[in-house]
C-alpha cells in the first residue's frame, strides 16, 4: 500500500529550480533512501513533504489525503515526523523535556503529563539515551543530539518518519548503532524515508533508493540496481 | 525521602505566600497613606513585569508594547468609566488589551528578534499619536477626566489583579504550553514540526498576559482623575518591565517579582537625591548586570550557597 506519494512535485527559488517535476511513492513499512550529490535538492524535497516550504507545483498525498500546502504542525498531526540535517534540538532543555514536548503535542490530543512523561522515558530508552535524560541537550554529543531528535520525532507518533542525514558526522561505531536503531524503528511499523550520504549504510538498509540530481529524479530502484546504474555512477564520479 | 523533602519545601513556600498575602490584605489599615501608594506602585510594576516576562522570558521575543496595553486600559476607563460599574470597567480594560495584543500577535508572527521589538515599540508610540490626533482633531480635546475610585478599592482591585497575574503565569509555565513557549524560544522551526501551532501559542499567550496589563491600566488610572496620551502611553512603561525582569532574574517568577519590588523601592528611595538619582540608579543597574548576569536571584543564590558552605 502506498503511504505517501507525489506527482510533479516542483520547487523554484526565484530562477533556481531546486526540485523539478518529481513523481515518487513510498510504500507502507518500507525503508526508502534518498541520495544525490550536494545541492541535488534532497533537503528541499523533505521540506516540501514536511510543510516547511510550499511547493511551486505538484501534489503530495499522505494516505490518500492531499497534504500539499498544509503547515508543518498540521502535517505532524497527520503523522509525518522529521529530523533536521543541521540538528535543531531545544538546547537549553533537558533531553527528557525535548522528547516530552513531542509527546505532549505531536499527533496525540490531550495526553496528560504523567502519560507523556512515561512515554518520553520509554523513547529515550528506545534510542539508548535514558542515562542522559537530565542533561541539557546542548551538553550532549552530536550523535546523542541526533538521537534526541529521533526520539522527539517518534514521540509525535508518526507513521512516516523523514530522517535527514542522521548519520552525518558520526563515527563508524555510531553509524552501526544508528543502522540498528533505524531497523528497530521499521520493526515498530513506522515507514522510514531517509536522506543519507553514508553509502554503505544506505545500501545496507534501504528497500529502495531514489536518486536526485539537479532537482530531478534520475533513478529509482533496489540498492543493487542503483549501485550499478551507469547514470548514478556518472553523477557521483563524473564521467 | 527526596519527595517528602520536596513536598515539605513546597508546603512551606505556600505557607510563606499565604502569610505575605494576609499581610498585604490587612496592611492598608495600619500604615500611612504614603506606604499604601508605594505598595500600589509596586503592584502595578509587578503585574507589568510578570505579564511581560511570562511571554517574553521563555520565547525571547522582546515586546516593547506594555505601554500600549496599559494605556488602552486607561482609555477604556476614560471612555466608559461613568456608564458602567467599576468591576466591568476593569474587565473591559483587560479585554480591550487582550484583543489589541491578539491583533498585534497575529500581525507580527513572522518577525523575530530586534524587528519584533521595534514593531511593538512602534505600535505603542503609533497608538499614542493616533489617539492624540483623534482627540484633538475629531473630539476637540486633549486628555480626559476620569472617574476616581476610593483608595481602598484601587488597592484591593490591584491586589486581586496581582494575585491572578502571578497565578496565571505560574499555571502557564507549569502547563504544556509553558514548555511549548520554551521550545519556541529555543528552535521555533523544530517546535512547529513536532505539532505545536507556534503562531496560535504565541498570539494567545501574548494576549492572555496583556489582559492583566490592560486591567491594571483601567483601575490605576482612577487614582489620577485625569489622563492624557502622554501619561497613559508613557514609553517608560514599555522599558521598565524589561529592565525589572532582567534586574531580578529572567528565569524565575520570583526573580521577576523580586526585581519589580526592589526596583520600585530603589526608585522611590533615590528620589531623595533628585540630582543624582539617575546617576546612582544607572550605576546600580549596570553593576547588577555586570557582576550578576542572572539578576538579583543570582545574588541571592550565591549568598545562600556561600552561607551554607560556611
Tell me the pLDDT tens digit for each residue of A126-171: 999 999 999 999 999 999 999 999 999 999 999 999 999 999 888 9
Q: Which of residues 152-191 of B touch A (CB under 8 A)?
A: 176, 179-180, 182-183, 186-187, 189-191
Smallest Cβ distance to A52: which of B180, B189, B195?
B189
pLDDT of residue B141: 82
Chain A CB contacts of B195 under 8 Å are 73, 76-77, 102, 105-107, 156
In a domain, B188, yes or no: yes
pLDDT of residue B18: 92
CB contact under 8 A, A106 and B176: no
Q: Which residue of A has its CA nearest to B185?
A: A90
> For chain B, what is the domain count?
1
In a domain, B52, yes or no: yes
Cell of B113: 528578534
Q: Is A91 in CB contact (< 8 Å) with chain B?
A: yes
Q: Is A97 in CB contact (< 8 Å) with chain B?
A: yes
Q: How confident is the model at residue B310 (pLDDT cuts 50, 70, 90)?
A: very low
In a domain, B226, yes or no: yes
* Average pLDDT, rounded, for chain A: 92
Q: Is B60 in CB contact (< 8 Å) with chain A?
A: no
Total Cβ atoms within 10 A of residue B140:
7
CB contact under 8 A, B194 and A50: no
Helix axis angle for B236-248 and B295-309, nearest 10°, is 20
Chain A CB contacts of B184 under 8 Å are none
Mean pLDDT of the B277-304 span: 81
Q: Is B192 in CB contact (< 8 Å) with chain A?
A: yes
In a domain, B46, yes or no: yes
**What H or E segment, with its residue span, contains residue A219?**
strand A216-221
In a domain, B301, yes or no: no
Q: Is A124 in CB contact (< 8 Å) with chain B?
A: no
Q: Which of residues 125-154 of A touch B (CB under 8 A)?
A: 152-153
Chain A CB contacts of B171 under 8 Å are none
Q: How confident is the model at residue A110 (pLDDT cuts 50, 70, 90)?
A: confident
CB contact under 8 A, A76 and B187: no
Q: Which residue of A has its CA nearest to B179?
A: A101
CB contact under 8 A, B195 and A88: no
| Chain A closest-CA separation from residue B194 CA (Å) | 5
In a domain, B134, yes or no: yes
Smallest Cβ distance to A90: which of B183, B195, B198?
B183
CA distance B100 to A206: 53
Lowest mean pLDDT among A25-34, A216-225, B6-15, B206-215: B6-15
Q: How confident is the model at residue A102 (pLDDT cuts 50, 70, 90)?
A: very high
Contacts of range B258-261, beta carbons closer than 8 Å, 24 or more positions apart:
B258/B296, B258/B297, B258/B300, B259/B49, B259/B295, B259/B296, B260/B42, B260/B45, B260/B46, B260/B48, B260/B49, B260/B50, B261/B42, B261/B46
Cell of B226: 485625569
Chain A CB contacts of B190 under 8 Å are 84, 88-90, 152
Smallest Cβ distance to B194: which of A97, A105, A116?
A105
Smallest Cβ distance to A72: which of B180, B183, B193?
B193
Smallest Cβ distance to B186: which of A84, A93, A116?
A93
Q: Which carries the bigger pLDDT value, residue A27 or residue B309?
A: A27
In a domain, B37, yes or no: yes
CB contact under 8 A, B179 and A97: yes
CB pairs < 8 Å spanning A and B: 74
Tell me the pLDDT tens digit for each residue of B91-123: 999 999 999 999 988 887 678 888 999 999 999
CA distance A125 to B205: 33
Residue B96: which domain range?
A: 31-238
Please enumerate in sequence order all residues whose Cβ is within 8 A of that of B299, keeping only pairs 6 or more positions apart, or say none: B288, B292
In a domain, B295, yes or no: no
Confidence (pTM): 0.89
The full length of chain B comes to 310
Q: Is B82 in CB contact (< 8 Å) with chain A?
A: no
Please enumerate in sequence order all residues whose Cβ is within 8 A of that of A49, keeping only pairs 6 or more positions apart, or say none: A4, A6, A60, A75, A80, A82, A162, A193
Tell me the pLDDT tens digit for each residue of A36-92: 988 899 999 999 999 999 999 999 999 999 999 899 999 999 999 999 999 999 999
ipTM of the assembly? 0.91
Amino acid at each position: 500500500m502506498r503511504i505517501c506519494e507525489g506527482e510533479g512535485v516542483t520547487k523554484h527559488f526565484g530562477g533556481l529550480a531546486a526540485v523539478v517535476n518529481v513523481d515518487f511513492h513510498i510504500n507502507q513499512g518500507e525503508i526508502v533512501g534518498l541520495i544525490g550529490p550536494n545541492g541535488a535538492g534532497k533537503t528541499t524535497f523533505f521540506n516540501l513533504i514536511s510543510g516547511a516550504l510550499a511547493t511551486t507545483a505538484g501534489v503530495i498525498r499522505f494516505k490518500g489525503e492531499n497534504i500539499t500546502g498544509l503547515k508543518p504542525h498540521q502535517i505532524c498531526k497527520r503523522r509525518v515526523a522529521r529530523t533536521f540535517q543541521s540538528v535543531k534540538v531545544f538546547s537549553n532543555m533537558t533531553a527528557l523535556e525535548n522528547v516530552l514536548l513531542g509527546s505532549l503535542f505531536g499527533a496525540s490530543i490531550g495526553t496528560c503529563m504523567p502519560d507523556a512523561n512515561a512515554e518520553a522515558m520509554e523513547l529515550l530508552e528506545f534510542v539508548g539515551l535514558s542515562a542522559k535524560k537530565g542533561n541539557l541537550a546542548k551538553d550532549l554529543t552530536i550523535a546523542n543530539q541526533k538521537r534526541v531528535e529521533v526520539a522527539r520525532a517518534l514521540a509525535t507518533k508518526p507513521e512516516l518518519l523523514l530522517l535527514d542525514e542522521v548519520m552525518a558526522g558520526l563515527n563508524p561505531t555510531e553509524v552501526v548503532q544508528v543502522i540498528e536503531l533505524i531497523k528497530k524503528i521499521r520493526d515498530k511499523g513506522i515507514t522510514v524515508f531517509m536522506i543519507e550520504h553514508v553509502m554503505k549504510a544506505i545500501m545496507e538498509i534501504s528497500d529502495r533508493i531514489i536518486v536526485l540530481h539537479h532537482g530531478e529524479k534520475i533513478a529509482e530502484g533496489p540498492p543493487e540496481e542503483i549501485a550499478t546504474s551507469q547514470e548514478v555512477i556518472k553523477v557521483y564520479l563524473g564521467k | 525521602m527526596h519527595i517528602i523533602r520536596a513536598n515539605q519545601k513546597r508546603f512551606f513556600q505556600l505557607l510563606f505566600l499565604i502569610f505575605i498575602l494576609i499581610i498585604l490584605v490587612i496592611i492598608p489599615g495600619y500604615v500611612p497613606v504614603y506606604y499604601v501608594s508605594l505598595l500600589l506602585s509596586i503592584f502595578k510594576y509587578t503585574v507589568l513585569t510578570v505579564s511581560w516576562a511570562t511571554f517574553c522570558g521563555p520565547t525571547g521575543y522582546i515586546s516593547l508594547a506594555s505601554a500600549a496595553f496599559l494605556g488602552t486600559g486607561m482609555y477604556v476607563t476614560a471612555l466608559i468609566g461613568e456608564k458602567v460599574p467599576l468591576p466591568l470597567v476593569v474587565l473591559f480594560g483587560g479585554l480591550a488589551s487582550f484583543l489589541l495584543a491578539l491583533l498585534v500577535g497575529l500581525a507580527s508572527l513572522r518577525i523575530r528578534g530586534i524587528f519584533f521589538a521595534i514593531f511593538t515599540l512602534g505600535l505603542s508610540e503609533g497608538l499614542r499619536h493616533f489617539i492624540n490626533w483623534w482627540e484633538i482633531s475629531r473630539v476637540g480635546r486633549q486628555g480626559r477626566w476620569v472617574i476616581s475610585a476610593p483608595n481602598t478599592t484601587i488597592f484591593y482591585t490591584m491586589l486581586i489583579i496581582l494575585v491572578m497575574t502571578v497565578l496565571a503565569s505560574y499555571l502557564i509555565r507549569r502547563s504544556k504550553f509553558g514548555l511549548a513557549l520554551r521550545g519556541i524560544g529555543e528552535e521555533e522551526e523544530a517546535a512547529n514540526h513536532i505539532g505545536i501551532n507556534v503562531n496560535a501559542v504565541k498570539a494567545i499567550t501574548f494576549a492572555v498576559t496583556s489582559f492583566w496589563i490592560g486591567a491594571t491600566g483601567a483601575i490605576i488610572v482612577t487614582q489620577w482623575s485625569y489622563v492624557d496620551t502622554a501619561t497613559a502611553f508613557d514609553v517608560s512603561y514599555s522599558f521598565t518591565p524589561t529592565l525589572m525582569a532582567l534586574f531580578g532574574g529572567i528565569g524565575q517568577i520570583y526573580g521577576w517579582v523580586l526585581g519589580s519590588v526592589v526596583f520600585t523601592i530603589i526608585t522611590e528611595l533615590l528620589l531623595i537625591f533628585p540630582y543624582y538619582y539617575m546617576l546612582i540608579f544607572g550605576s546600580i543597574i549596570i553593576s547588577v548586570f555586570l557582576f550578576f548576569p542572572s539578576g538579583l536571584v543570582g545574588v541571592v543564590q550565591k549568598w545562600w550557597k556561600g552561607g551554607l558552605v560556611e
